[in-house]
Structure formats: C-alpha cells, structure tokens
Amino acid sequence: MLFVIGGNGSHAGANAIHEECRKRKLKVSVVAVPKTIDNDILFMDKTFGFDTAVEEAQRAINSAYIEARSAYHGVGLVKLMGRSTGFIAMHASLSSGQIDVCLIPEVSFTLDGEHGVLSHLEHLLETKGFCVVCVAEGAGQDLLQKSNATDASGNVILSDFGVHMQQKIKKHFKDIGVLADVKYIDPTYMVRACRANASDAILCTVLGQNAVHGAFAGFSGITSGICNTHYAFLPITEVITTPKHVNPNSRMWHRCLTSTGQPDFH
C-alpha cells in the first residue's frame, strides 16, 4: 500500500505510479490524500491545510489593519499565498471583515485610471483616513513583465506583485502630492508552516483513516476527499484534469465583494 499526500502535482505522481503498477501487474494499492493550503483540487469541498492557512492569514491582515489605522493616511498591504487561485485571499478577507480591496488571480483589474485600484484607494483615504488591501501572489500577473523562467518543478516563476503594488501605491500618492504611509506585510511561509488547527486536524485524521480503509478494500488510483459534505473516494484521473479556481460569479466571491465594498476595477 502506498499513500501519497499532497496537491495536484502529488496526485499526478500517484496516478503515474498507479498506472505503472497496473502495467506490471503488481499487487500495489496507491491511494492519495489531498493536502494543499491553496484548496485548488477539483471536486473537493476543502483540502487539509486550507483552514489553518486562512486562520494564520487573518493574523497578518489584523497586523496590517492595526498598522494602517494607527498611521496618518495608512495603507496596509498584505500579500498572501495563491499562485493561480485566490481561495486563501478571498476567505481571509471575508472572515476578517477588515479588508477594503481583495485582488485575486481569477479576476482581472486595472491599477491606473479613473476606475482603477489606485483611484479607489484615494477615495478610501479621503473618506476613511486609512485602508487595507489583500492581494494573492498570482494576482495581476498580466500587468507585470513575464520572465518565462521556471522552477525545479516546472512552475512558471511569478513576478512579485506585492512589491510591485507597494511601489505603485507609493509612486501614485507621491505624484498627486498626498501623503500615504504604506505598510507592506508578506507572511509567506508563516501561513503554512504552523500547527494544524482543530478543524484541519479532524479533517486530516478522517481523510487518512478513509485512505487506509480504501486501500484495505482493494482500491487503487483513488483519492480520499470530502465532496458535497460527504467523505468519498474519487478517481485521481478525474481530480487532476484541471485545478479548481474561484468562480467570479459564485456567491462566495460576491459575498467577499459585499464585505470589502470594492467596485469593479475596469
């Protein structure tokens, strides 16, 4: 029995091992357990690590809120993990209730111009006196120069949108002669390198136990997940067809927009 724990890449690896074992007619059961803070595995309600990451991300947002509110024309800017999906940024923004602008990879936006993000930040400083912005690391990549370089896993190395955003905000307010005190917080691996919270610990325990039950039942090439509130076995081939993304037309994203009060930046 082989248990593979991880995200989409690990699941693809598990499927390759499963297929090779079938070709060789080996008595090997390959079962995966979904673990990724990005929550981007298809058909899964939630993956192990996501709840903990969101909870930890809230601490960074709270720090940015305190810093921004304590300064004259303070702008708190938080960059959270999320290369291609904005689930952490969306859920952390919604749960904190302190975010004025949330930017994610799935939703395009403009920074400059009358309807851009920077113009909205001007309005917030005028009316509130401070603001807090949350960005996912993969947001706004179309606004940055692409390097086409890849890491050891073959993933495209993203340009740092958080630093770009920080510089754009500073330059914009300097150009219009308005003081803006930008506080940039990048918690990076702090959101994932921490002990699992109670919710995640229970989820992981149940998924692990179910994976073992599946292997003992003779299944292979499956993953143990929670789908539509039910614990279930799903074929790995189905869940790795494409990553799960935030649906810009979903109720959850609209709840986030209602919470932040941000306009459509186009």
Q: Which helix (H) or strand (E) holds 251?
A: helix 251-260
Residue whose token pair is 């803006």: 180
CA 202 remoteness from chain centre: 21
For the chain, the straight-line distance linking the first and the last C-alpha, in angstroms and rounded, comes to 52
Backbone angles phi, psi at 121, to 5 degrees: -65, -35
**How far is Cα 241 from Cα 238, in angstroms, rounded to an integer?**
6
The DSSP bridge pattern shows strands 30-34 and 222-227 to be: parallel
Q: Which candidate in 38, 40, 51, 100 is catalytic?
A: 38
For every residue of 225-241, DSSP letters joined together read EEETTEEEEEEHHHHTS
For every residue of 158-185, DSSP letters joined together read PP-HHHHHHHHHHHHHHHTT---EEEEE
For the question of residue 175 being annotated catalytic, the response is no
In angstroms, what CA-CA distances link 78 with 57, 94, 159?
A: 9, 14, 16
Catalytic residues: 38
